[in-house]
Structures are given as C-alpha cells and as structure tokens.
Structure 1
Amino acid sequence: MPPRRAVTGRSQEPRQRFVEELRLLRAQKGDSLRQLGDVLGWDWSLFGKMEAGQTLGSPEVAQALDQHYGTKDLLLTLWELAAGDPKQFKERYRRYMTLEAEALSLWHFGVSVLPGTLQTDGYAHVVLAASGTKGEELQRQVEARMGRREVLMGDDAPPFRTILSEAVLRTSLEDAEQWRTQLENLAEAAERPNLTLHVLPHGSEPHGLVSTDVMFLRLLDGRTVAYTENAHRGELIEETSSVERLQRAYDAVRDLALSPAESRKFVMRMLEEVPCERST
C-alpha cells in the first residue's frame, strides 16, 4: 500500500507547519506585522522572525495569536510540537552556539551541572554519557564542549558571571581524582579577572529559576537573549519581555547568593572534602 499523503498539502514538519499557519492566518485576517504588534503588545519584528522561522517565540505569544485569530489552541499545539522536536532543539542549540561565540558578556545560572565553558573533559564525558550519548558521538561532543572553553580565555575574553546552586558542587563524580581536577579548574577560573563566581547555598529562599538552567548573552547589537535548558529540552528566547522576566528572576537569585569572595572559599572547602587517593 503506498504511503498516505497529507490531504492539506501543508508541511508535516512541526516548525515549518507552525510558520505556514502563522503566515496564512495573518494573510486571511489582513493584518500587517506592525498592526499585529500594536494589537498584541509585542514588538512587530518578533512576528516577522516567527514567520521567517528564525524563532518560535514563546507559548504566551502563540496563545495570544490563537485568541487574536480565534483558532482555539491550534497555534499553541503547533508551538509545543515544534519546541519538542529533537531536530529543532539541535537547530536552536546551533544558533545559540553562534551567538555565544560572539557575545559581549555572559550571565549564567546552573541548577545541577556546571556550564560547558567551565567543564573539564572528564566531567563533560560523565555528564554527556549520563544523557545517553555513546561511542564516537560522545567523543565528538566532549571535544566540542572543550572547544567552548576558549570563549572565556584570552586577553579579549568577555565578562562571564555564573551563579551555581550548591547542588552543582555537591553532585560529585564517582572518580575522586576527576572530581578534584574539576573543582581545581573551577577554583582557578574564579581567579580570572573576567569571571565572577557565586554559589547559591542550600536553604536559600524559593526563586523563579528553581528548575531552570539559563544563560544570558549580551549581543553586539545591544540586545540580550536567553537560553534556558532542563533535562528534556532547551529554548533560545529572544522576545524582549520574556528575556526581561528571566533577568528579573536572575537578579533575585544573585541577591540570595554568596559573594564572589565567599564563593571562592566555598569551592576551596569542597576541594578539601575530596578524598585523597591512597598511595600503594
């Protein structure tokens, strides 16, 4: 039996279908991009980027468009399918990597693992293997992650601020020597003039980033974008109001964290707790 073809003739690929529906609905409504921005309260350029496939926007934007067009949950459902598509995750991550390499400054918050820019090869190998990566692909990803460390090195390296939940530093590697090497690398990095380290201790107040790793990138054009990630997916966020909400949450977390001096001492205490190998 020949494969069944889609009756509508529209794309079955989630992101492309989302883009097609956005264009079709706006054309049917007769709105310009600027009119759409005025009515819904977002910058009109966001809708242009969504229709060009450059960004998915946010679920709030998709929901507002559904209300505007009277399409119930059509666009929100397509947004969820596109955001959860593994191929789209890779595309968003590639775009994020390009922006990271060009960023004027970076701000990070980590819930459970160190940022790739501060990982040793041993740590990266364990983290990537735990996610199911194997064989040659695992080695390629470890090498790529080690290449990211170059972003923070050199005389012209951008300012980098990281806030690490204490859980990051309490989740040690099984190999004590590898874990010692990772903590030593972190302690040395914290001494660089372009890097600021904060530790968010256990017992801190609840905050808006409690389950979200996030990286903010300030770009050459003056914009700030954010990349959020959890165990299942990552999302590049470029819409201004969404980024600003995340920044306010980040500022609140920084207010709860230890100072850079106290944080360096915290890392040194963690180093002292790593068991030394017995000599044979």
Structure 2
Amino acid sequence: MAGNNEHPPKARALGAELRECRIAAGVKQRELANQLDVSYVSISRYETGARTPKPEDVAQILATLGVVGAKYDELVDMARDADQPNWLDTSHTGIRRELTTLIEFERTAQRITDVATIVIPGLLQTSGYARAILGETSNDVDARVAMRVGRRDALMRRDAPEFVALIWEVALREPLGGYRTMVDQLHHITAMAERPNITVQILPAGSTRWHPAHAGSFILFNFPKSAPIVHVEHFHSTAFLHREKDVLAYEAATTTLQQLAMSPEDSVGLIAKIRDEMEGQA
C-alpha cells in the first residue's frame, strides 16, 4: 500500500470514515494491520489523512472490516481522487459526510476562525437555534441538532483549539426560531465568549465599502502539523480548499475582517444590547 502525505481534505475525510468503520467493527488498528499484513503506521496514517490510500487499498480494508453495499461503494469511489488539493462535494451523502469531516477538523485543529455572515457559527449555536435552521432542510433533524450541539465539546476540552468567531451584526438581528430562541442564543454567545480560548468579534452593519464578509461565510482551520483548510458551504454543496493560493486569499480576508471588527469587549456589549432589545419582544 502506498500514497502521499499532503493531508488533503478529502483524504482526511476518507480517513475519518475508515476509522468510524473500524471502530464500528470493534477492531483495533494493530489488529487490522495484522489482518492486512501491512504496518500499523500505514493504517494510522490512512485514518489521519497523512497518507492517501488507493481505491484497492480502501476496498481491502472495508472487505476485512465486513463493510458491504452502498457504504463500500461510496468509500471506494471516494478514494479515486482523494489526493486532490481542493474538494467540492455535491453528492447525496454530502450532509452526513460534511458533518463527519467538520468534526474531524474541529477535533484536530489548533485554531478555528469562523466568519459568519448570515447565521450564528455552528460551534456557538444552541439547540433551539440549530433546530430553527436544520428543521427546514432535514428529515433527521433530532439527530442533526444533537450532533451540532455536541460539536461544541471541541471547545470545552482541556486541549481545546483557539476559536475566533467573526460575526456580522446582521446575523445577530435575524430572530431565527422566534425572539425567545434568539434571546437564548445571544445569552449563550456572551457566556461562551468568557472562555479563555474563545474570541467573539462583531462586524458592524452599515458599512459603506465592500469587505470580504460581503462575499459570504467560511471557516479557516489551522492545524499544528499540516497545512490550513478552508470550508465553504453553499445551499446544496460544500467545498474544502487546501491549495495554497486559495487558502492564502482566505487568510488575508480574515486579517482584514479582524481589523474591521469591533473589539471583543465592545462586541459583547453590542450582543447584550441586541439581546435586551429582543427580550422586550419575546
């Protein structure tokens, strides 16, 4: 088995899927390696995306784990171009796979910068707010809400990443789910902002000149041992960008937006002001 070690996003997503399959089968990494007659290091590197497996490697792993049917076909097909630097996913399994991938990136990131222009960042959402968003687009809303709220544990653990939320004021004033839901959501943001690893900055509305937030939301993941990855979500597709020139553009955008945003202290003050205004309408 051979591959490269560039940590592209699709390879990392594939690795997370393979790890889930192995765990579901109750098989340890070393046990799987012994059954395949390969090194334990190879399995570990596949699961972290440090090495991209070939389709035949994935087929062998899945067959050994007893994975068959649609899941088998999906992951073998996923391996065919998993070494590409950028990844646009428009498949029918995109929503579930996107969540799996985001959880993997949140688990391994050193710093996460979330530029949120229309809705509150996923890692800061309450269950009520998440339900207001996901309930319109999902048949399994309960499971997806639980998964989204559970993702915030990534910010609570001992080795939690630094999280920077750059939120456009527009997102704070849109009472998705109703005023009571939004009041609870704003209370939650101010509480989370007190954590030492979380910074919340608001981009004021009413700008008279264009800035990168006008182009839409994105998340920048920085990792301790691999190159950054950018996540961009659209209505029915999602993209993960890894090519250096693409990532550099988003890094420059985050720098610009942090300079334009209010200070963390003033941002919390504005959130509290908007929250108090909404409480009168709840």
Classify the TM-score, shorter chain. 0.5 to 0.7
Partner of 2:73: none
Q: CA offset at residue 238 of structure 1?
A: 1.2
Equivalent-residue separation in structure 2 for 1:180 and 1:55 (angstroms): 44
The Cα offsets for residues 95-129 of structure 1, whole Å up to 9 and x where unpaired, read as 23212211111111001111111011100111101
Which residue, out of 152, 156, 174, partners 1:153?
Answer: 156
Q: Call closer, same or farther: CA 1:92–1:240 in 2, change over 3 Å.
A: farther
For residues 105-144 of structure 1, the aligned pairs below 5 Å read 105-130=111-136, 132-134=137-139, 137-144=140-147
For residues 56-205 of structure 1, the aligned pairs below 5 Å read 56-58=84-86, 83-88=89-94, 90-130=96-136, 132-134=137-139, 137-204=140-207, 205=209
Q: Percent identity?
A: 25
- Structure 2 unaligned regions, length at least 5: 1-9, 11-50, 55-77
Secondary structure of 1:164 counterpart: strand
When Rg is computed on C-alpha atoms for both structures, the one with the higher figure is 1
The Cα offsets for residues 15-48 of structure 1, whole Å up to 9 and x where unpaired, read as 9xxxxxxxxxxxxxxxxxxxxxxxxxxxxx99x9
- How many equivalent residue pairs? 208
> In the alignment, is the contact (CA less than 8 A) between 1:93 and 1:234 conserved in 2?
no
Equivalent-residue separation in structure 2 for 1:203 and 1:86 (angstroms): 38
Equivalent-residue separation in structure 2 for 1:149 and 1:202 (angstroms): 27
Q: CA offset at residue 86 of structure 1?
A: 3.4
> In the alignment, is the contact (CA less than 8 A) between 2:201 and 2:264 conserved in 1?
yes
Which residue, out of 224, 229, 251, partners 2:228?
Answer: 224
> In the alignment, is the contact (CA less than 8 A) between 1:56 and 1:83 conserved in 2?
no
Q: CA offset at residue 177 of structure 1?
A: 2.2
Equivalent-residue separation in structure 2 for 1:235 and 1:273 (angstroms): 37
- Structure 1 unaligned regions, length at least 5: 1-14, 16-44, 59-78
Q: CA offset at residue 52 of structure 1?
A: 4.8
Partner of 1:30: none
Q: Supply the RMSD in Å over aligned alpha carbons.
A: 2.7
Partner of 2:239: 235
Greater shift after overlay, 113-122 or 170-179? 170-179
Equivalent-residue separation in structure 1 for 2:214 and 2:99 (angstroms): 22
Secondary structure of 2:114 counterpart: strand
Equivalent-residue separation in structure 2 for 1:93 and 1:158 (angstroms): 18
TM-score scaled by length of structure 2: 0.66
Q: Name the amino acid aligned to 2:235.
A: A
